[in-house]
Chain A
Amino acid sequence: MAETKPTGVIRKLQKMMTDGSISCRELTQRYLSAIEKENPGLNAYIRVTPDIAMETAARVDEKLAKGIPLAPLEGIPMTLKDNISTDGIETTCCSKILAGYTPIYDAFVWKVLKAQNAVLLGKTNMDEFAMGSSSENSCYGGSNNPYNPQYVAGGSSGGVASAVSAHLAAYGLGSDTGGSIRQPASFCGIVGLKPTYGAVSRFGLIAYASSLDQIGPITTTVEDAALVYDAICGADPMDSTCCGGEKVTPSLGGSLEGMRIGVAREYFDGIRQQDVTDALNNAIAAYEKLGARIVPLELPVLQYALPVYYILACAEAASNLGRYDGIRYGYRTSHYRTVDEMICKTRSEGFGPEVKRRILLGNYVLSSGYYDAYYKKAQNLRQNILRALEDTFTQCDVMLAPTVPMTAFPKGFTSQSQVETYLTDICTVPVNIAGLPGISIPCGADKKGLPIGMQLIANRFCEKTLLSAAYGFEQATWQQHIAPAPMGVML
Chain B
Amino acid sequence: MVTKEEILKIANLSKIYVSEDELESLTHDMAQIIAFADTVNAVSAGTQEFEGISGRSNILREDEVIPSYPREEILKNVGGGEDGYFPVKKKN
B66-82 at interface with A (beta carbon < 8 Å): 69-70, 73-74, 76-78
Do residues B33 and A386 form an inter-chain contact, with CB atoms below 8 A? no
Do residues B37 and A329 form an inter-chain contact, with CB atoms below 8 A? no
B48-92 at interface with A (beta carbon < 8 Å): 48-51, 53-54, 56, 61, 69-70, 73-74, 76-78, 86, 88-89, 91-92
Chain A residues positioned under 8 Å from B88 (CB to CB): 327, 339, 342
Do residues B33 and A361 form an inter-chain contact, with CB atoms below 8 A? yes
Point out which of B10, B45, B76 has the most chain A C-beta atoms below 10 A from its C-beta.
B10
Interface string of A462-485 (1 = CB under 8 A from B): 000000000000000000000000
| A377 at the binding interface (Cβ < 8 Å) | yes
**Shortest CB distance A395–B (Å):** 20
Determine, out of A36-44, A72-80, A101-109, the stretch whose residues face the partner at the interface.
A101-109
With known contacts A198-B53, A361-B33, A367–B40 Cβ distance under 8 A: no
Interface string of A404-444 (1 = CB under 8 A from B): 00000000000001110010000000000011000000000
Number of contacts between A and B (CB, 8 Å)?
145
Do residues B41 and A377 form an inter-chain contact, with CB atoms below 8 A? yes
Do residues B40 and A311 form an inter-chain contact, with CB atoms below 8 A? yes
Do residues A367 and B10 form an inter-chain contact, with CB atoms below 8 A? yes
Do residues B51 and A348 form an inter-chain contact, with CB atoms below 8 A? no
Do residues B33 and A357 form an inter-chain contact, with CB atoms below 8 A? yes
A346-391 at interface with B (beta carbon < 8 Å): 347-348, 351, 356-357, 359-361, 363-365, 367, 373-374, 377-384, 386-387
Interface string of A173-192 (1 = CB under 8 A from B): 00000000000000000000
Chain B residues positioned under 8 Å from A318 (CB to CB): 14
Chain B residues positioned under 8 Å from A377 (CB to CB): 40-41, 43, 47
Do residues B17 and A345 form an inter-chain contact, with CB atoms below 8 A? yes
| B24 at the binding interface (Cβ < 8 Å) | no
Do residues A364 and B34 form an inter-chain contact, with CB atoms below 8 A? yes
Do residues A343 and B15 form an inter-chain contact, with CB atoms below 8 A? yes
Partner of B53, one of A211, A361, A363: A211
Chain B residues positioned under 8 Å from A336 (CB to CB): 89
With known contacts A198-B53, A434-B53, A344–B37 Cβ distance under 8 A: no
Chain A residues positioned under 8 Å from B50 (CB to CB): 379-380, 382-383
Partner of A342, one of B45, B77, B89: B89
Do residues A307 and B39 form an inter-chain contact, with CB atoms below 8 A? yes
Compute how far the CA of A418 lies from the CA of B32 in the bound complex, rounded to whole angstroms.
8
Compute how far the CA of A68 lies from the CA of B33 in the bound complex, rounded to whole angstroms.
57
| A394 at the binding interface (Cβ < 8 Å) | no
Compute how far the CA of A215 lies from the CA of B89 in the bound complex, rounded to whole angstroms.
38
**Shortest CB distance A362–B (Å):** 8
**Shortest CB distance B55–A (Å):** 9
| A310 at the binding interface (Cβ < 8 Å) | yes
| A337 at the binding interface (Cβ < 8 Å) | yes
Minimal Cβ-Cβ distance residue in A for B17: A348
With known contacts A342-B88, A344-B16, A383-B48, A374–B76 Cβ distance under 8 A: no
Do residues A304 and B43 form an inter-chain contact, with CB atoms below 8 A? yes
**Shortest CB distance B26–A (Å):** 7
What are 9 A-B contacts with C-beta separation under 8 Å?
A104-B70, A104-B73, A347-B16, A348-B18, A357-B26, A360-B26, A361-B30, A417-B32, A460-B54
Known contacts A104-B74, A348-B18, A379-B50; can you find 8 more A-B pairs with CB under 8 A? A198-B53, A304-B40, A360-B16, A364-B34, A365-B37, A374-B37, A374-B40, A383-B49
Footprint of A on B, CB under 8 Å? 2, 6-7, 10-11, 13-18, 26, 29-30, 32-34, 36-41, 43, 45, 47-51, 53-54, 56, 61, 69-70, 73-74, 76-78, 86, 88-89, 91-92
